[in-house]
Amino acid sequence: MGNSSVRRPYKGVFPVVPTVFDADGRLDLEGQKRAVDFMIDAGSHGLCILANFSEQFVLTDAERDLILDTVLNHVAGRVLVIVTTTHFASHICAERSRRAQQTGAAMVMVMPPYHGATVRVRESAIQEFYRTVSDAISIPIMIQDAPVAGTPMSAAFLAGMARELANISYFKIEVPQAAAKLRELIALGGEAIEGPWDGEEAITLMADLDAGATGAMTGGGYPDGIRQITDPYFAGRRDEAATAYERWLPLINYENRQCGLIACKELMKEGGVIKHETVRLPLQPLHPAVRAGLIEIASRLGPLVLRWGK
């Protein structure tokens, strides 16, 4: 199922796929497939499923497996697929990662182990956690360095794991001062840092590209817009990329600061990609005024999502 025509290192725009529900909060697998088709048509170099922006934390294990199988079978090698396999327990994360690889994933993304606001483990235990996962698979592991884990990991610690653990080679950096951390990570890790990537809905994308980021994992609503930034940047046309970033920044900012994970679903619903923008309780729908602001900003930019299904 993997796309053997795409060679490492993997670069480009790899947005997060939302998990699509019907009006009652049940999985909508046909809607899920349409969301995937739209995101591929919109220029995604690859996709990430079962991430936090996919509401992975509201899914049962059986639902996770069903989404994994459905998406990988439907993508059928058209693009690379990254599967988030985060779990606190080392062996469960390793099992999830092994299953993702067997199903056709090109990479897994894993947060450091954490639980709630206070349950954390020391660096040596984090390294053993990632060693267990790395030993279970032969595809790359992306470490998601995000505030939600509440687990500080220095650039030196991350670079050390990249040098010492076989499959630790990609890093999604979305903590404050991300660009500075990316620069330090690249300087300390050298060739072991195969993929230094930007995250957090591209809110710091230009600074992160300038720091050496080679990939962007954004929300899934407008990968065509993100490519208007990254394509010219990687082609050496920074001024063109900066102009595009300024144009898309109001939408990027609105998604990041006002809407969160539901922005992608609202845009897909507005454009006829999916039938329902449902999020599972206790998550709440957007206030009508916030939704109106999102659609107004997006309409000025004209992303494919607003016309794909119409």
Residue 4's pLDDT is what? 47
Residue 1's pLDDT is what? 39
Which tens digits make up the pLDDT trace of 102-132?
999 999 999 999 999 899 999 999 999 999 9
pLDDT average, residue stretch 20-27 = 98
Residue 152's pLDDT is what? 94
pLDDT average, residue stretch 134-158 = 97
Residue 3's pLDDT is what? 47
pLDDT average, residue stretch 7-14 = 95
Tokens of 8: 């490492």
Neighbours of 87 (CB within 10 A): 19
| Residue 53 pLDDT level (bands cut at 50, 70, 90) | very high
State yes or no: is 172 an active-site residue: yes
Asked if pLDDT for residue 255 goes beyond 90, the answer is yes
Asked if pLDDT for residue 2 goes beyond 60, the answer is no
Q: Angle at CA 108, nearest 5°, toward 30 and 213?
A: 105
Evaluate whether 84 touches 47 at the Cβ level (below 8 Å): no
Residues contacting residue 198 through CB under 8 Å, at least 6 positions apart: 172, 173, 174, 178, 182, 204, 205, 208, 209, 213, 215, 216, 217
> How distant, in Å, are the alpha carbons of 51, 102, 208 from that of 133?
17, 14, 28
Q: CA Rg, the chain, in Å?
A: 18
Asked if pLDDT for residue 201 goes beyond 50, the answer is yes
Residue 6's pLDDT is what? 78
Please tell me the total number of residues recorded for the chain in this structure: 310
Which tens digits make up the pLDDT trace of 61-114?
999 999 999 999 999 999 999 999 999 999 999 999 999 999 999 999 999 999
Distance CA 79, CA 97 (A): 19
Alpha helices in 104-177 (DSSP H): 123-136, 155-164
Residue 118 has, within 13 A of its CA and on its CB side, a CA count of 0
Residue 7's pLDDT is what? 87
Instruction: Tokens 């591209």: give the residue.
Output: 202
* Residue among 88, 29, 30 at smallest CA distance from 57: 88
The pLDDT mean for the chain works out to: 97
Return the SS3 of 186.
helix
pLDDT average, residue stretch 198-212 = 97
Q: Is the dihedral of CA 185, 186, 192, 193 positive or negative?
A: positive
Catalytic residue among 11, 172, 181, 269: 172
Which amino acid is it at 167?
A: N
- pLDDT above 90 covers what percent of the chain? 97
Which tens digits make up the pLDDT trace of 276-310?
999 999 999 999 999 999 999 999 999 999 999 98
| Residue 5 pLDDT level (bands cut at 50, 70, 90) | low
